[in-house]
Amino acid sequence: MNPLLGWSLATLAVALGYLQWGWRGVVLAVTVIVFWLLLQFGRALRVLRTAGRGPVGHVQSAAMLNARLHLGLRLPQILALTRSLGTRVADDPETFEWRDAGGDAVRLELRSGRLARWTLRRGASDPAPPS
């Protein structure tokens, strides 16, 4: 959600609560806002816990990850897709890489916390031995 929209809705809820029910409406609105923030915090912790348990820089299938990516994804959304933390390749722009068991790799570039570009690199496949 856009932060500006979220804060606008929270302000509107507090104002509407005050106009409708006075201080009790403000308490209700603040309670709902805190509950929403706790839900978001719990969701973020769950994603980070799952990503922290996986091996760093490893995904089941780099090709499947490549197919599920799209511009504008945020890092928590990417971590939910990969279920592991990426290997940092560069700092400017922020670049992370995930590999699979076959040697394929997906390299992601983030700008302002959003996915700006990604590339799929195929691993060196061994040719069949001559018969």
Query: Within the chain, which residue ranges are assigned CATH 3.30.1450.10?
Result: 55-121
What is the model's pLDDT at position 19?
A: 96
Helix, strand, coil in percent for the chain, rounding step 5:
50, 20, 30
Q: To the nearest whole number, what is the mean pLDDT of the chain? A: 91
Closest CA to 99 of 116, 115, 86: 86
Q: Could you tell me the fold of the domain covering 55-121?
A: Beta-lactamase Inhibitory Protein; Chain:B, domain 1 (3.30.1450)
What is the model's pLDDT at position 2?
A: 77
Mapping DSSP onto H, E and C, the string for the chain reads: CCHHHHHHHHHHHHHHHHHHHCHHHHHHHHHHHHHHHHHHHHHHHHHHHHHHHCCCCECCCHHHHHHHCCCCCEHHHHHHHHCCCCEEEECCCEEEEEECCCCCEEEEEEECCEEEEEEEECCCCCCCCCC
Residue 63 has pLDDT above 90, yes or no: yes
Average pLDDT over residues 45-70: 93
> pLDDT grade, residue 125 (50/70/90)?
low
Tens digits of residue pLDDT in 74-93: 999 999 999 999 999 999 88
Residue 49 has pLDDT above 60, yes or no: yes
Tens digits of residue pLDDT in 14-23: 999 999 999 9
